[in-house]
Amino acid sequence: MVAGARASVQLDRTHIAIRVRSLSEIGDLALLMIRRYPVAVKRAFFAGALPWIVINAALLSFLPLRIAADEFFTDDSASDLLRYVSWMMVLVVLQTPLAGAFSTYYLGQAVFEQKPTLRHTFAEVWKLRWPLLWVLGVKRLAIPTTLLLVFRIGTDADVFIDFMLPWLIVILAAVVRSNRPFVPEMIVLERCPLRSKSPHVITLSRRSKGLHTPMASELGGRFLTVAGTSFVLVCSVYYSLIWVRGIATSNWSTDLLAMMVFVPLALWTVAAFSVVVRLLGYLDARIRLEGWEVELAIRAEAIRQFGEDAMNSQAASSRRGALNRPSTPDKPAASPTPPPTTEEALLVSDDETDANETAIEVEVRP
């Protein structure tokens, strides 16, 4: 799963049970992953999000400042508030894949290793900065939209640019992401190159087509469900912050603090959760289409028997075979197992013994 991982990785010793899951189970597991690996959210994600938080504040802070300067809340104040919230939401949605690159790599390592380091995480992701910036930043409109707002600082509201264009951008981003949601994982974890002269190299476009096309309809439905849930969560986090402050200070207004702090905090908090959900959805897609749980066991045994070179050659040949096979979206690769009844079935405990370590187990536990 993680190209270039360190030699200590044990492919058949995972910290989560490798099996097919429904979307609701993925959501539950995402919460457990955040509780088990808080560093991935508290440090890795917000380290990637911090530059964008500063940039967004610099681009849009004139709007809440202008609202706060008004003696009364007028129609112009309402227009500026809607403009601020709309653009802030659009920016966070577009910037989340880039901001989540660190946490994606960290969690990808943590599935196999007990203590991945932040220094190693930052160093490995930094090597991929140009593919990430081009694909997730430029082609997926995060950087162009940010540059557009540079020229809108201090200007009055425009009906098309400030009220229609944000929603057009969101719709375009939704169409692209619902069809190709796992491109960040392919860049960060699989290290797929953008292009190659060799026909045997699996480029990003070939890999994306091979993984996304068979599950196109299901991925679209999952995207809409996650998007709707995320909107509800953002509202819940924001109004929870308003409620806590209201109880503590009797201030229930949407003032400068609420606009400058509470709105971005609610958006980025849910964005961090969505990155974990997307990563688990990527693992689920590989299990459904590629029999990833069996591949891990085979590759782990090959490493023990023949060394690292056996794993690399076997993985490359199996991937090429998967891409050359015709897509069968209506025929699942693996039948789902019954849903777990306890947390133990979702997240493997570190205290379990090695008795269950075999090369053919579907759920491999440390």
* pLDDT tens profile 264-280: 999 999 999 999 999 99
Joined together, the tokens standing for residue 226 give 């996650």
For residue 299, the 8-state DSSP code is H
* pLDDT per residue as tens digits for the range 280-328: 999 999 888 887 656 665 666 666 566 655 555 555 555 555 445 444 4
Select the more confidently predicted residue: 51 or 306.
51
pLDDT of residue 72: 86
**Model confidence pLDDT, tens digit, residues 222-233:** 999 999 999 999
Residues 6+ apart with CB under 8 A from 295: 315, 318
- Position with higher pLDDT, 102 vs 317: 102
Average pLDDT score over residue span 39-58? 94
pLDDT number for residue 231: 96
Q: What is the pTM of this model?
A: 0.80
Tell me the three state secondary structure of residue 71: coil
pLDDT greater than 80 at residue 341:
no
From the number of C-beta atoms within 10 Å of its C-beta (0-12, 13-18, 19+), residue 254 rates as middle
Task: Tell me: pLDDT of 48 over 50.
Answer: yes
Under the banding of pLDDT at 50, 70 and 90, the label for residue 54 is: very high
**What is the per-residue pLDDT for 271?**
97
Q: At what angle do helices 263-290 and 308-324 cross, to 10 degrees?
A: 90
Q: What is the DSSP string of 197-259?
A: SSTTS--HHHHHHHHHGGGHHHHHHHHHHHHHHHHHHHHHHHHHHHHHHHHHHS--S--HHII
Residue 318, classified by CB atoms within 10 Å of its CB into exposed (0-12), middle (13-18) or buried (19+), is middle
Element of type H or E holding 340: none
For 227, half-sphere exposure in the C-beta direction (CA atoms, 13 angstrom radius) is 17
pLDDT in tens, 65-100: 999 998 888 899 999 999 999 999 999 999 999 999
For 147-167, the pLDDT digits (tens) are 999 999 999 999 999 999 999
- pLDDT reported for residue 56: 97
Is the separation of the CB atoms in 86 and 149 below 8 Å?
no
Whether the predicted pLDDT of 60 surpasses 50: yes
Residue with tokens 């536990």: 365
- pLDDT, tens only, 199-225: 889 999 999 999 999 999 999 999 999
**Residue 46 one-letter amino acid:** F
Q: 72 in helix, strand or coil?
A: coil
How far is Cα 15 from Cα 300, in angstroms, rounded to an integer? 15
Tell me, what's the pLDDT at 257? Answer: 95
Q: Which residue has the higher pLDDT, 32 or 19?
A: 32
